[in-house]
Chains A and B, each alone.
Chain A
């Protein structure tokens, strides 16, 4: 039994159906990592990155920043506030407050020995970014925080300068939830077809130019809507 308070935005909570709404979701094609940005109260940021059975979840608020790493039933939570650093895992809780060198060493040793922390560092180090986006900065800051607190220094060449690395991350908009891309496309496609029929009904068969205009507008709307659906579903993420 793991005595760790798993963050409500983590994958474990998601399995319980308690996960907040996903605002944006992206699959980074190089590492295969799934990056999700969750709906959070004003002034807070919540996101997670998962791949290979490991999930790194983070919530940054005004009072505290909590990083949770989960893999299967194992989890470790690192909570940083203005005055203390608290670590919770299956071995228990360690708290560090200013000046306590013993606790600082205990925390560093606990984190350095944790396979979860190493897996989290590996995962975050594999993610590539196309641009210096706020999300990229959050991921880099999270990795740097884990590396600093654990004292794990071996880093891959990419992670030394992750923002400059070539990237292919494409964030696709999640409208409201699964299936909404198709719903939105359906509405637009049906509206386009109905307007096309009305347009054609208003013209005589020998009015070639107006009828061609109706067809042209319909084709553009139909192709545009279909292209939007392809982009919305993330199929265009496969581009090189």
Chain B
């Protein structure tokens, strides 16, 4: 069950990253370069994943 949750969090993070990246590319022209863009996308993905992981509802013990 835990692995399913993690996979779901990863998928949601990817969707979030895909949705946010166009806005980032429009507002941050430097992100259009290959040097910064992929790193920024990876950063957004990681932040999304961490935030999702933190706010994900947990079963109370």
Contact with B23, one of A183, A193, A225, A227 (Cβ below 8 angstroms): A193
The answer to whether A190 and B26 touch across the interface, beta carbons within 8 angstroms, is: yes
* Partner among A186, A190, A219, A233 whose Cβ is within 8 Å of the Cβ of B19: A219
How many A residues touch B, CB cutoff 8 Å? 19
- Chain B interface residue count, CB cutoff 8 Å, equals 17
**Interface residues of chain B: helix, strand, loop or mixed (majority):** helix
Q: Are A222 and B37 in contact (CB under 8 A)?
A: no
Decide yes or no whether B15 CB sits under 8 A from chain A: yes
Whether A223 contacts B37 by the Cβ 8 Å rule is: no
Contact of B18 among A178, A196, A226, A233 (CB under 8 A): A226
Check if B19 sits within 8 Å of A194, measured CB to CB.
no
Contact in complex: A223, B18 (CB < 8 Å): yes
Task: Enumerate B1-56 residues with CB–CB distance to A below 8 Å.
Answer: 14-15, 17-19, 21-23, 25-26, 31-34, 37-38, 41
For the complex, give the distance between the alpha carbons of A171 and B37 in Å. Answer: 24
In the complex, the answer to whether B22 meets A178 with C-beta atoms within 8 Å is no
Shortest distance from the beta carbon of B4 to any chain A beta carbon, whole Å: 18
Chain A residues 187 to 240 lying within 8 A of chain B, measured CB to CB, are 189-190, 192-194, 196, 218-219, 222-223, 225-227, 233
CB <8 Å contact, B26 and A193: yes
Contact of B25 (CB < 8 Å), options: A186, A218, A223, A227: A186
B-side contacts of A227, CB under 8 Å: 18
Most buried by B among A183, A193, A194, A223: A193
Q: Which residues of A lie under 8 Å from residue B14 when comparing CB positions?
A: 226
Asked if residues B34 and A223 are in contact (CB atoms below 8 Å), the reply is no
Give the docked Cα–Cα distance between A202 and B22 (Å). 20
Pairwise interchain contact A182-B21, C-beta atoms closer than 8 A: no
Cα-based distance from A190 to B22 in the complex (angstroms): 5
A223/B19 contact (C-beta < 8 A), A186-B32, A186-B37 known? yes
Chain B nearest CB, measured from A196 CB (Å): 8
Known contacts A190-B26, A193-B26, A194-B26; is-contact A222 B34 (Cβ 8 Å):
no
Q: Which 6 A-B pairs have the closest CB atoms?
A: A226-B18, A179-B34, A193-B22, A189-B22, A182-B34, A223-B18
Q: Which residues of A contact B (CB under 8 A)?
A: 178-179, 182-183, 186, 189-190, 192-194, 196, 218-219, 222-223, 225-227, 233
Other than the known A182-B38, A183-B34, what 9 A-B pairs have Cβ atoms closer than 8 Å?
Answer: A182-B33, A189-B25, A192-B22, A193-B22, A193-B23, A193-B25, A194-B26, A223-B19, A226-B18
